[in-house]
Structure 1
Amino acid sequence: MATMKAIEIKDGKGRLENLYIADIPRPKITGAQALVKVKAFGLNRMDLLQREGKYPVPPQAPRTLGVEFSGTIEELAGDSESEFKVGDAVFGLAYGGAYAEYIAVSTHMLVHKPDELSWEECAGIPEVYITALQAMYLIGEFEPGKSILWHAGASSVSIAGQQLSRVNGASEWYATARSDDKTDFCVKELGAKAAYNTKTTKWDEEVLKATDGKGVDIIVDFIGPDTFAANLNAIARDGRIVNLATLSGMKLKDTDADFGAFVRKRVRYEGSSLRSRDEKYQGKLRDQLVEHALPRFKDGSLRSIIEKVYPWEQIQEAHRQMEANLTKGKLVCIIS
């Protein structure tokens, strides 16, 4: 049986010290899959939760962590998309398995790597940009001229979302974060009209002031209970609030939320996820990435912003940096 090196978790779950490199069976491909030799993989907050046994992993996912990667195609199954050939440089999104030398992944979720981008840059694109596009277009019903606010503004998804807001014609975009350093980053580096420190300001009231009382058309939220009431205050009439995570917990506690806003403003408040979606749905999002973003990466108007690149032997240190919650960009590991 062919083997490969991959990052395993001692005892199946636990602290970052449980991560180590081991030999495991190389995956076999079927259907429309490709076997990709991984050059680099991106880290995501879900990886921390999965490592701790707190993430609902899809049944088709291998036990190995990691959902985004770049590399070269080693082998193709019989039903793979015809535009891909053995030897092609690609990047893509998978249900799991990217923390390894090889990954089995549907060709419906692969994208040809542009010559203009590095392996590391490409490994930091799929999860965050596809998630941002899903929030904007499929759920938020974004159109040019609409305004949008991105919570957790220095997170990788919101960094991608603010860039997409700019190049796809948002009238204006805003952000929130929990430090002045991060709010300054959103304004100075990403072009937000304003960004608000949620620890020191009533950000919803500031948004209403900045929009002459109208509010924003779309809010993309990762926080959950702690932003629920303020989201309803800051959203515009016929607005869309997209919830992608619940970083502040799972339960609504004491709240002064104005539930009348749902009727008065005709608000839609919708939750979503990406990893649990079927291959057809994810394939549509892959196509959106190719249509809305890939040409912009080639001409430089969109960037894959990398905070730090680690050799994969330092995976524990990479997880430690992500846990510190101080990053303003992607963490990426390379496999030598």
Structure 2
Amino acid sequence: MTVPSEMTLVNLAKPGGPEMLALGRGPVPAPRTGEILIKVEAAGVNRPDVQQRKGLYPPPPDASPILGLEVAGTVAALGDGVEAWAIGDEVCGLANGGGYAEYCVIPALQCLPWPEGYDATRAAALPETYFTVWANAFGHGALASGETILIHGGTSGIGVTAIKLARAFGATVYATAGSDEKCEACKRLGAHEAINYRSQDFAAEIARLTGKRGVNVVLDMVGGDYTSRNVASLAFGGRLVVIGFMGGGKSDAIDLTRIATRRLVITGSTMRPRTAAEKGAIAAELREKVWPLLAKGECGPEIFETFPLGEAAAAHALMEESRHIGKIMLAVA
């Protein structure tokens, strides 16, 4: 495969609104040791991209400044030491940056094959949310079959993935969403019950729905004033897993007595700072435990809308409107 010296990409002129995104040209990156170069066919749009665009989520020092954390396409070049992939393989991967472009470099360990029956768009919709949910709900949260989980933001990309995976692995799911329509969507996707957080107190509803027992796991991307209600919603030995801070990164009103007497765990993580080895371990677990389900047509992504690469600004505007149910994607090739 012949690799050109330049490519089309999405430039961020300066931190700001979606209008700061526009097509540009730049050099094709060269894969370093342990990396592969992917000729990108599709890329996912995620909340961290929006935060980076606003100047609130800077990339790691060694990562591409181009937005984009997940892609799918074909392997165009191999860095030294890469033996697991060959030129022309169809792969999807969790990028450290650089996804909004015709070519993207990703550590080989962070890549997976397209699930059987998937095209590039569906494959590109997998890495960011499936890595995140698997590492947090099933890793840090230790969600097990027969347990219960409360998932905030049930119609977001993360929320949809969490609902589907939790159900697939035998958990009972409760979700929150911002409208009755979105609550119905959560139930259609597999939630046992859904709570409209604009009109209902989710902690009171969880108490009612569980007979005051609470849930085993809360997966929270909101933070802020949700934290005390999350703690109140946990069953004995429950785990609160924090993965985002849309409502703020601090909370003062936590009942420490409840944490101690009910043996609760508060934990959480972000994905981007993890090492390639750590992300590779997650990829290996997904390939073993989740990819066979995807190949059977189970627990796959929901694609809400796909935009051409040149309309990345419109894709970001849609995400900020929060009208979507599932994933927003970019068609690159």
| 2-structure distance, mates of 1:66, 1:326 | 21
| 1-structure distance, mates of 2:138, 2:320 | 30
Question: Hey, what does 1:158 align to over in structure 2?
Answer: 159
Query: What do the CA deviations read for 1:185-214 (whole angstroms, capped 9, x no partner)?
Result: 111x21211110111112112112211221
Question: Hey, what does 1:277 align to over in structure 2?
Answer: 274
- TM alignment of 1:227-246, pairs within 5 A: 227-246=226-245
Equivalent residue of 1:240, what SS?
A: strand
Contact 2:12 2:21 (8 Å CA) reproduced: yes
| 2-structure distance, mates of 1:241, 1:109 | 26
Post-superposition offset of 1:97? 0.3
2:238 is the alignment partner of 1:261: no
Equivalent residue of 1:284, what SS?
A: helix
Paired residue for 2:42, among 33, 40, 43?
Answer: 40
Query: What do the CA deviations read for 1:245-272 (whole angstroms, capped 9, x no partner)?
Result: 111123336x4x4221111111111121
Query: What do the CA deviations read for 1:132-161 (whole angstroms, capped 9, x no partner)?
Result: 101122200122111111011111111101
- TM alignment of 1:86-97, pairs within 5 A: 86-97=87-98
| 2-structure distance, mates of 1:118, 1:52 | 31
Q: Pick 1 or 2: higher relative contact order, CA cutoff 8 A, min separation 6.
A: 2
| 2-structure distance, mates of 1:215, 1:183 | 20
2:69 is the alignment partner of 1:67: yes
Contact 2:222 2:246 (8 Å CA) reproduced: yes
Question: Hey, what does 2:214 align to over in structure 1?
Answer: 215
What residue identity is the alignment partner of 1:227?
Y
2:250 is the alignment partner of 1:251: yes
Post-superposition offset of 1:280? 1.0
Question: Hey, what does 1:3 align to over in structure 2?
Answer: 6
Equivalent residue of 2:143, what SS?
A: coil
Post-superposition offset of 1:330? 0.4
TM-align CA RMSD: 1.3
Post-superposition offset of 1:115? 3.8
Question: Hey, what does 1:206 align to over in structure 2?
Answer: 205
2:183 is the alignment partner of 1:180: no
Change (3 A) 1:56 1:270: farther
Post-superposition offset of 1:183? 1.0
- TM alignment of 1:121-160, pairs within 5 A: 121-160=122-161
| 1-structure distance, mates of 2:207, 2:48 | 32
Instruction: Out of 309-318 and 32-41, give the one that drifted further.
Output: 309-318
Equivalent residue of 1:236, what SS?
A: strand
| 1-structure distance, mates of 2:67, 2:271 | 16
Structure 2 unaligned runs (5+)? none
Runs of 4+ in 1 over 2 A off after TM superposition: 250-253
Post-superposition offset of 1:49? 0.9
What residue identity is the alignment partner of 1:118?
D
Question: Hey, what does 2:318 align to over in structure 1?
Answer: 321
What residue identity is the alignment partner of 2:207?
L
| 2-structure distance, mates of 1:304, 1:59 | 31
User: How many residues get paired?
Assistant: 330
Post-superposition offset of 1:177? 1.3
| 2-structure distance, mates of 1:194, 1:302 | 18
Q: TM-score, normalised by structure 2?
A: 0.96
| 2-structure distance, mates of 1:226, 1:176 | 15
Structure 1 unaligned runs (5+)? none
What residue identity is the alignment partner of 1:325?
S
Question: Hey, what does 2:118 align to over in structure 1?
Answer: 117
